[in-house]
Every structure is written in structure tokens, then in C-alpha cells.
Structure 1
Amino acid sequence: MLASVKTTRMGLLTAASLLLSGMAKAQAPEAAAPAKAAGMNEQELLFWVLLGLLGVLLLVLLSVGITIVVQMKPQLRLLYNLPTVHGTWSGKVLGLLVGDATLVRGEYRDELLDHDYDGIHEFDNDLPPWWKYGFYFTIVFAFVYVGYYHLTTKGQLQVAEYETEMRQAALLVSAGSDDPTKLTTYLALTTAADLSSGKSIYATNCAPCHGASAEGKVGPNLTDDYWLHGGEVNQVYKTIKFGIPSKGMVAWKGKLSGKQILQVTSYALSLQGSLPANAKPPQGEKEAVGKPVAGL
């Protein structure tokens, strides 16, 4: 008995000494701060402790719920068999607890129909309710999607999302001469020398895709009022300079100077309304009435 008391006393003294040493270390100067920074801070430790406690609590609640259902299964079976409960939605949910999977597999299963051909019988099976309700959900979702994205145009489609992301990304880089988002304020060149130079550049570089008279071949027709990427002089200049790789339009910024690009831009816009033979059908959107088309 005396030995047991001494052992207990020694244990209490050891625990007290460990507690006091821990408190002393906590009150010591912040010499060990760098070592603490490498580990887990108090907030992270508290988060994981609470998350663990939440997980344990959920497991306990799940175990208690399963135990209650198992213990009360005879009473739940009697309740499920009541005519006022059996056919209701809540009754079908209750049926899952007592072993009736009608809510999952449907009401009719392997029901023999009156079709009989050469000894072959036809059976009827319900579509699973979860499948039917999922199908109804896709129909409702389709109407909501079309209304939100295509009728009200409140939602952004893929192209609009891409353009928005590109504008946001442009804010992270400085706007220089090679920045495709930088707005230029060029006016179309109208002198005969510039238009002649533009015509020569067009014949060498642009005619293979857009046609000798800009009637359109692989590329679109440049003589009508419809434009895929804008028909204002600065928009056409940007298209020629940076290209549209996804549409097969190459970038000419490393092959033509800025003045040469403006010259060929001005020449292409001077062909507006020329009505060439074998013109390609319009593509893109028509420019708004009154919108300047290079002032030509």
C-alpha cells in the first residue's frame, strides 16, 4: 500500500515538473522563433484539431443513426406497411431503411406482359426513378442554360470568356508597341503613293488568301461591309499586325514595318464597295451605320 502511494506521488511530481518546464519554455525569450516558423502555427494546429473532432463527431452520429435504424427496423416495417404511408414519397424513402429498393429500381420489375411470340415473353421494367428525375433535371437545365447564355446574353460564352481573360491578362503586362491590347489612333492613308505601295504589298502577301481583287478565297471578302474582327482602320491594322492564328491569319509584324501595315490596311479599305467578280459571301458582322471605316 505504502509503495503504491509513493509511486503515485512520484508520478504526480514528474507530471508537475514537466508542466512547469513547458510553461517556462513558453515564457522564455523568442530565441526559438525561427524554429517555430518552420513548423505548424497555432491557427493551423487548431484548424486540424477541429477538423478531426468534426470527423469523429460525424462518425459517431452515423454509427448512432445506423444503430437506431437496426434496432427500430420492426417498428419501421410496420409503419411502412400502412396504406397511408406505403405509396407516398416519404414512405418510399422509409422503404430504403427496411430493405425495399422501389425508390431506386422502380415499382415494376420483371412484370410479364401479354406479348408472346414463338415462346418468347416480354417483361416490363420501370426506369429507375433517380434516372427519370435526372433526365427531367437535364431538360430544365437546358432551358435555363439557353435562356441565360443565348436569349438574355447575361452569361459569357467561350469566346467572350477568352476575350475577358485576355483583357485581364493584359493588365499584368506593360502596354508597348507589340501589345495587341494597346489601342492605336491611326488614320487611313489617302495619298496615291501610299495606296500604290499598299497595293503592291497586298498583291505580294495578301492576294493568295484574299484574292487579287480582295474578293475572298481562303480568307474572307474584304470589299463588303461585313467584318470578322472589325472594319475600322485600327482594327484592321491590328488584325494584320498580330494575325488571328486560330483562323489561319498570320501575323505580319515581323515581316512588314508599321508604315507598310498601315499602307496595306488603307489600300484594303479603299476597296470597300468595289463589287469584284466571284465575290465570296459575307462573313462576320456588318459594321454599324455611321461607324467610320477608315474615312475613305
Structure 2
Amino acid sequence: MIRPHQLLYGAGAALLVAHPALAQAAEASALAGTDTQRTLLWFVLSTLVLVLMVFLLLFVALVAWMRPQLRKLYDLPTVHDTWSGQVLGLLVGDARLVQGEVRDELLDHNYDGIHEFDNDLPPWWKYGFYATIVFAISYVTYYHVLKTGQLQGAEYAAEMQQAALLIAATPDDPNQLTTYQPLLVPAELSSGKSIFATNCAPCHGASGEGKVGPNLTDEFWLHGGEVNHVYKTIKFGVNGKGMVAWKGKLSGKQILQVASYVLSLQGTKPANAKPPQGEKEAPAKAVAKL
């Protein structure tokens, strides 16, 4: 005899077995629905473009067929000089509405034989100028008076904040600071010194005195002088400052060795040291010296 709890157990087991298949079926159904919607959207847009093109061709054909009648209407004195008449003129080949009237009237002065005509600016230019005035007033009102829209700085900060939320908090996340302690074992610092001499000395000097890169032996830092800030700078680099990212070229342990060695250079005062750059920070925790 099958007991009720056995039936429940069997049903649960069946659901567990069927769950991956149900998930895959749901995912496939969602993808199929998305493809159908995309296809339908392109079909509607294509149909709309086709209908607009047909109407445009019919309109051009109608204007060409009625052009003699439109020309007679345009030549009427009561129509010719009105604004609606100028719009009608565009259909019969008169572009006064856009180009304006050229009077070619000479002004009563000249400069070394150079005469100036008294012609108005083309209407298209004046309409464009008026549009820029309207745009400027709208822009100032929207962004600076009502403060409804975000200015470039605020928009950039918001986008960076959103981007930071999309990055997973992993050891490869440049927004997440590590919690390492400086290495104190002489062997680790010696390894850091070898890596520094091979990769870092060309820019920072053999003794960290600074060349293209900043001086690493004083108390001034551009991107933080605590070991985890130094680790981050070495690993991810600094865009636009010439400091390359050593992520992928050095292991995490090697980067920590270099960062610890850099901190061991504090106060060594090498010859020809580069002037301080950045902000002064309190000396970090005592670290071993080679």
C-alpha cells in the first residue's frame, strides 16, 4: 500500500528531475517570444516606410500633373505675395520662401570701388537663427532655472555609479579595495625588488627616485600610499597617466611583493630624487627594509 507521504516524496522527486527541463523550455519560449516581437517590429516599420514612400510618390505625381493649374493660381496678384502663395511657389519652382528676394540695390557708399548690395538675409538663415534662440532659452530654463535635467558632471557621476553597481564585487573589481597587509619577510621583499627593477625602474628609477613616473620614496602620493592603494594602482594602472595595468602580467602575489617593496623605500632619500607630487600622507605602518 502506498502511503500519502510516499506520494508526496515521489511527486517532489519528479519535480526536481523535471525542473531543468522546465527551465530550459521556459527560456526557449522566452527567446522565441523575443524573436517574434523583433520580427513583428521590423515588419511594422518596413510597412510604414513603404506606405510613406507610396504617398510621397503619389503627391509628387499629383503636383506634376496639376502644375499648370497651380502656376496660374500662383500668378494671381492676390495670391503671389502672400505667405501661402510663397508656399505654393515651392511647388511650382519659385523658392522665394526659402531663398528670399534678391533686390540687388546698391547702397550709396563704396570702399575702393567695392559696392555693397542691400539684400536681406535668406529666410532659411533667419529661421535657423530664431531656432537657436528658442533652443538656448529652453536649454537654460530646463537645465539651469528649473534644474530638471542633469548637467554633464552630474550625468557622468550617475553613470559611473550605475556602472559600479553592475560590476561584481570580486578581486578583479577595481572599485573594491583589498585588505592585504604589507609583506615583511626579506625574501618576499627581495622578490618584489627584482620585479621592480625589471618592470618599474624604467619609469620610477632604480631606487624609486622617479623619472617619468613619480618619486616613490617620499610621503607624497597621487593615488594613495597605503599598501592596498599601491596594490590597486599597480594592478589596474591609471588611465591617461602612463601607468599601465599589470593585471594579467603579474600574479596577485607578485603585485603584493612589489607594493610591499615600494613601501620599504619610504624615507630612503636617493640622489636626484624627483620633487614631490600628490598629497602628503602619514607614514604607513612600519615595514621591513632590505
Q: TM-score w.r.t. structure 2 length?
A: 0.51
Partner of 1:218 in structure 2? Answer: 212
Q: C-alpha distance in 1, partners of 2:240/2:40?
A: 49
Determine helix, strand or coil for the equivalent of 1:155.
helix
Task: Say if 1:209 and 1:111 are closer, same or farther in 2 by CA, change over 3 A.
Answer: farther
Partner of 2:222 in structure 1? Answer: 227
Greater Cα offset, 129-138 or 42-51: 42-51
- Report percent identity of matched pairs: 43
Residues 1:186 and 2:176 are matched in the alignment: no
1:149-205 Cα distance to aligned partner (Å, 9 max, x none): 995622228xx969976975x56xx95x7x455846332315262556544543443
| 2:227–2:260 CA contact under 8 A, matched in 1 | yes
Determine helix, strand or coil for the equivalent of 1:219.
coil
Partner of 1:55 in structure 2? Answer: 52
Task: Say if 1:244 and 1:54 are closer, same or farther in 2 by CA, change over 3 A.
Answer: same
Task: Say if 1:144 and 1:197 are closer, same or farther in 2 by CA, change over 3 A.
Answer: farther
Partner amino acid, structure 2, of 1:55: L
Partner of 1:120 in structure 2? Answer: 114
1:142-161 map, 5 Å: 153-156=153-156
Shift of 1:209: 0.3
Q: C-alpha distance in 1, partners of 2:73/2:222?
A: 72
Shift of 1:227: 2.6
Determine helix, strand or coil for the equivalent of 1:116.
strand
Partner amino acid, structure 1, of 2:179: Y
Determine helix, strand or coil for the equivalent of 2:153.
coil
Query: Is there any run of 5+ residues in structure 2 with no aligned partner, and where?
Result: 1-35
Determine helix, strand or coil for the equivalent of 2:277.
coil
Q: C-alpha distance in 2, partners of 1:190/1:45?
A: 61
1:210-259 Cα distance to aligned partner (Å, 9 max, x none): 2345453222344454535x655334323323445764434445554432
Partner amino acid, structure 1, of 2:87: L
Q: C-alpha distance in 2, partners of 1:70/1:143?
A: 45
Q: C-alpha distance in 2, partners of 1:275/1:146?
A: 52
1:1-296 map, 5 Å: 47=44, 51=48, 54-55=51-52, 58-59=55-56, 62=59, 66=63, 70=70, 73-74=73-74, 78=78, 81=81, 91=83, 95-98=86-89, 101-106=95-100, 110-125=104-119, 126=121, 128-133=125-130, 136=133, 153-156=153-156, 168=166, 179=172, 181=174, 183=176, 185-189=178-182, 191=184, 193=186, 194-195=188-189, 197-212=191-206, 214-222=208-216, 223=218, 225-227=220-222, 233-244=227-238, 247-253=241-247, 256-269=250-263, 278-280=273-275, 282=277
1:85-144 Cα distance to aligned partner (Å, 9 max, x none): x6xxxx4x7623335645533566644233324433233552622453466578679979
| 2:74–2:80 CA contact under 8 A, matched in 1 | no
What RMSD over aligned residues (CA atoms) do the two structures have, in Å?
Answer: 5.5
| 2:179–2:228 CA contact under 8 A, matched in 1 | yes
